[in-house]
Every structure is written in C-alpha cells, then in structure tokens.
C-alpha cells in the first residue's frame, strides 16, 4: 500500500516512506461464507480519498472510463484509527470529512448527473460511491483502515479484549451503520448506511517496522489474529441482525506483506485465513527509488529477490488457501536518475529518485505511458514478460504496462488464485487501459 504521507496535493516523504513498504501483503480467507459459495476472481481497486484534489480524479471517472464495470470491489483509502483506539472522522491526521461526505459535487462531476444540494445529508465521495453502486449492481465498496501513515495506533488499540471490541464496534458504527458526525446539514445517524460492504485492514505492520514512530510489539501477532476474529464476529452479528430482506455477509480482507520476515513477525496465517474472505498481497515496492541501485519494483518472477511468485508461495506455504490470495498490481512506477554503468540500466548505481509529476521517484502510469511513447526512452522487458522498465541512459522507471498486467492476471487465473488488486485507480489512463488488460488476463480473452 502506498503511504498515507502521499496524500492531498503532494506525496510528502514518499521515498523514505516507501522503503518500509518492501514487505506488505497478507492473505485473506473466510470459512464463514454461505455454503455453496463458489470463489470467483476478484477485481479490486483502491480509490484514494485525496485523489480528488491534485489529480482531480473523481468517482465519476470510474464510470466514464469503463473501470467500474470491470471491478468487483472498490477499497476506499483510508479510514482513520485515532489515538483513542476508535475509528474516527474529523480532527485527526489523515481524516478528511470534507472529501468523504461534506463536499458538494456539481452536476458535471456527479455520477448521476445531478449536483448535490445544500440539504443533502450525504455528499462528497461517499454519495458518489452510492450513485456508482446504483449504476453497477454487484459492485462492492470496502473501507480500508489504516495505511502506511495511518497505522500508528493499531498496536495500542488491540492490546486488550475490551480495546479490540471498542475499536471494531466504532468502525462498524461509522462505516457499516453509516453514523457520521454532523457537519451542518451533512451526516447524522445512518447517513452513510448501505455504502460500505465490508472492511479492509491495512495495518502496516503488526510486529514489524512500518512508518517511523509506529508502536511495535511482539504480541501484535496474536493480537492481530484476535482483532480479525473480533471483526468477523461483529460483522456477522450485525449482518444477521438486519431485517430478513437486508441480511448480508459483510466481507473482511487485509493488505499483507511480501517479505517472509514480516509475514512471520505479524501473521498467524492459518488462523487468520479462516476469518478473512480474501487478502491482498503486496505485489509492488519490492525495490524503491530511495535505494542507491536501480531494481525491479514489481516483477512476477525474479531470481534471489522479491517477486509476486515468491510472495504467493510464501503465503501458500504458511497455510493460506490459494483462492483467497489476491495479487496486488501497481498503476505507478518507481524511478531513478543519475544512472550510470550502461547496459539496460537495471542493477546500476543511481544518484537519487527521478523527477516526477507529484513526488520524485514515483510516477503514475498515465504519465509513464507518455514517456514510453516519446521515443526518448527504450522499453525493456524482464523474465517471461513479468516486469518492464524504461531507460533513457540517465533515468530509469520500473513499472507495469498492459503487457505485464495481462501476464500477471493470466498467472492468477492459471494458479487458482483469488484475483487482482490495484494501487491505485487514479494512475490509469482516462480510458482504463490497465484495468482492461487485467480484465482480459483474468477472463482469458
């Protein structure tokens, strides 16, 4: 998962933050699904709360690009865990009620073509997601809790049974029941009811280093298992409590790491997979632009290095069911400048992160596509088309293009895995070039 520091108009300390992301992704599974459930390939995309600002990426863009029709889930990034151990909205770093449900959306930007009115209880991204779901029956929306810079309070919050119960109840109250803080005419009891279909846990990382300053404890590992169980218990209880026509199974997932050391430090894999519907495996940031040597950031296969294939096998060996493993795929690239040593540029020393649109060293695919088409860069492909990079003799960008993504999606299908996840949807082209490649790979078309 990309760090929360990369929010609003800038990405903040991205190069430093992403160094800690080298090992993030976890399996998901659910033994509590209705009998007769047939696993299907999931297509999950993260929508960033802050993308509406600098990038001007709106919920409506998911409809006009055709992306929404190719997704099974949208993960909304991020919900905030406060220092009081509860899900909260308002006066806390990373919380932005204005973007979530207060901001009036005009007719031109609205999914349904009607502008928000002053007396609506729900506006902003949440109301647009409601409209998007109305146009795309079957599309689910999950609230993703935490993120790279939003995981500081998890360890404290889940130390006790009472703390776990309080945290889970507050998250269900805010997002599943939709009880939002009142802000003028906006919010109130049930204002966001029916928007979120489940919870995605993005604790980076239980039991091992994440963002600087995060509390880490050895007991995070068993406490994470207990947290997952508490979420499963309360979500199931709430789903059963609804009037019969509205009863439902609320899904539970997590974002989990690639590095075996991080998996072993924080995840009791066989236990947690019983309660997860699926997990989203880290499939990117294997190497980042803050490193001194250029390298692949998201290879499907790699020798003696992190890779998607290595990550999948690490989770399988620890007891994760294949059909609950969703492979993460990037809609951005990592870049270096001052690359010397010749050749194709990979594995060579560099002076630092490459210049980019938002923050040095990280660039959306839609901008990298322009570089690839410029004639200045040469496109290179790695082992079995499992990764790609651009090199102009000085600057190198490692990223996934449609060819790579289709290859990865085919790998998912051929290995009986659970689907594909992307970070993040705002990196794609206006016509959804990348999500289309994934869709075709998953369907075998």
DSSP 168-195: HHHHIIIIIS--EEEETTEEETTTTTTT
Q: Are 320 and 269 in contact (CB under 8 A)?
A: yes
- Catalytic residue positions? 204
Nearest-10 crossing angle of helices 402-414, 433-443: 30
C-alpha distances (whole Å) from 168 to each of 199, 202, 230, 373 are: 10, 14, 7, 48
Closest CA to 214 of 263, 285, 146, 140: 146
pLDDT for residue 1: 53
pLDDT for residue 328: 99
Please give the Cα distance from 296 to 45 (Å, whole number).
22
Per-residue pLDDT of the chain (445 residues; tens, 9 = 90+): 554 333 322 223 333 333 333 333 333 333 333 333 345 799 999 999 999 999 999 999 999 999 999 999 999 999 999 999 999 998 888 899 999 999 999 999 999 999 999 999 999 999 999 999 999 999 999 999 999 999 999 999 999 999 999 999 999 999 999 999 999 999 999 999 999 999 999 999 999 999 999 999 999 999 999 999 999 999 999 999 999 999 999 999 999 999 999 999 999 999 999 999 999 999 999 999 999 999 999 999 999 999 999 999 999 999 999 999 999 999 999 999 999 999 999 999 999 999 999 999 999 999 999 999 999 999 999 988 899 999 999 999 999 999 999 999 999 999 999 999 999 999 999 999 999 999 999 999 8
Other C-beta atoms within 10 Å of 179: how many? 17
Q: Are 375 and 403 in contact (CB under 8 A)?
A: no
Q: What is the DSSP letter of 359?
A: B
91: CB partners within 8 A, 6+ apart: none
Closest CA to 144 of 175, 103, 181: 175
Domains of the chain from N-terminus onward: 14-331+401-443 (3.20.20.80)
Q: Token digits for 197?
A: 């279909």
pLDDT for residue 28: 34
pLDDT for residue 133: 98
Q: Are 80 and 95 in contact (CB under 8 A)?
A: yes
Helix then strand count (H, E) for the chain reads: 13, 17
Around 368, how many Cα atoms within 13 Å sit in the side-chain half-sphere?
Answer: 30
Q: Are 9 and 54 in contact (CB under 8 A)?
A: yes
Closest CA to 114 of 103, 102, 122, 105: 105
Tell me the torsion sign for CA atoms 316, 42, 2, 252: negative
Around 230, how many Cα atoms within 13 Å sit in the side-chain half-sphere?
Answer: 23
Element (H or E) spanning 337, and its range?
A: strand 332-337
Q: Token digits for 275?
A: 């309660």
Residue listed under structure tokens 């439902």: 248
In degrees and rounded to multiples of 5, residue 261 shows phi and psi of -65, -40
Q: Are 145 and 82 in contact (CB under 8 A)?
A: no
Nearest-10 crossing angle of helices 220-241, 161-171: 50
Please give the Cα distance from 153 to 170 (Å, whole number).
14
Q: Report the predicted TM-score, pTM, of the whole model to 2 decimal places.
A: 0.92
């Amino acid at each position: 998962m990309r760090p929360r520091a990369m929010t609003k108009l800038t990405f903040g300390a991205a190069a430093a933050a992403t160094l800690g992301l080298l090992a993030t992704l976890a399996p998901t599974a659910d033994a509590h699904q209705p009998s007769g459930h047939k696993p299907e390939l999931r297509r999950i995309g993260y929508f960033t709360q802050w993308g509406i600002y600098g990038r001007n990426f709106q919920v409506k863009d998911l409809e006009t690009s055709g992306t929404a029709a190719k997704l099974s889930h949208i993960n909304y990034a991020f919900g905030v865990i406060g220092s009081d151990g509860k899900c909260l909205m308002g006066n806390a770093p990373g919380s932005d009620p204005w973007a979530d449900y207060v901001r009036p959306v005009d007719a031109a930007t609205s999914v349904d073509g009607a502008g928000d009115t002053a007396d609506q209880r729900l506006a902003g991204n949440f109301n647009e997601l409601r409209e998007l779901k109305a146009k795309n029956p079957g599309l689910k929306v999950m609230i993703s809790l935490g993120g790279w810079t939003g995981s500081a309070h998890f360890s404290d919050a889940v130390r006790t049974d009472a703390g776990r119960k309080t945290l889970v109840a507050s998250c269900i109250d805010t997002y599943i029941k939709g009880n939002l803080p009142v802000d003028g005419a906006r919010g109130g009891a049930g204002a966001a009811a029916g928007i979120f279909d489940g919870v995605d846990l993005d604790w980076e990382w239980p039991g091992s280093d994440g963002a600087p300053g995060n509390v880490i404890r050895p007991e995070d590992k068993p406490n994470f298992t207990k947290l997952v169980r508490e979420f499963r218990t309360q979500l199931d209880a709430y789903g059963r409590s609804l009037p019969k026509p509205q009863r439902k199974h609320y899904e539970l997932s997590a974002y989990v790491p690639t590095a075996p050391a991080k998996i072993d430090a924080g995840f009791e894999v066989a236990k947690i997979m019983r309660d997860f519907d699926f997990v989203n495996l880290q499939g990117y940031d294997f190497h980042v632009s803050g490193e001194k040597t250029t390298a692949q950031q998201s290879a499907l296969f790699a020798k003696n290095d992190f890779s998607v294939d290595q990550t999948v096998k690490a989770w399988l060996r620890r007891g994760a069911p294949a059909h609950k493993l969703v492979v993460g795929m990037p809609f951005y690239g990592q870049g270096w400048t001052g690359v010397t040593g010749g050749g194709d540029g990979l594995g060579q020393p560099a002076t630092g992160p490459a210049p980019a649109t938002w923050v040095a060293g990280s660039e959306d695919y839609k901008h990298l596509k322009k570089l690839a088409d410029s004639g200045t860069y040469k496109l290179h492909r790695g082992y079995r088309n499992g990764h790609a990079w651009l090199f102009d003799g000085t600057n190198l960008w490692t990223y996934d293009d449609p060819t790579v993504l289709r290859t990865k999606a085919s790998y998912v299908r051929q290995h009986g895995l659970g689907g594909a996840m992307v970070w993040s949807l705002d990196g794609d082209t206006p016509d959804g070039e990348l999500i289309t490649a994934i869709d075709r790979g998953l369907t075998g078309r």
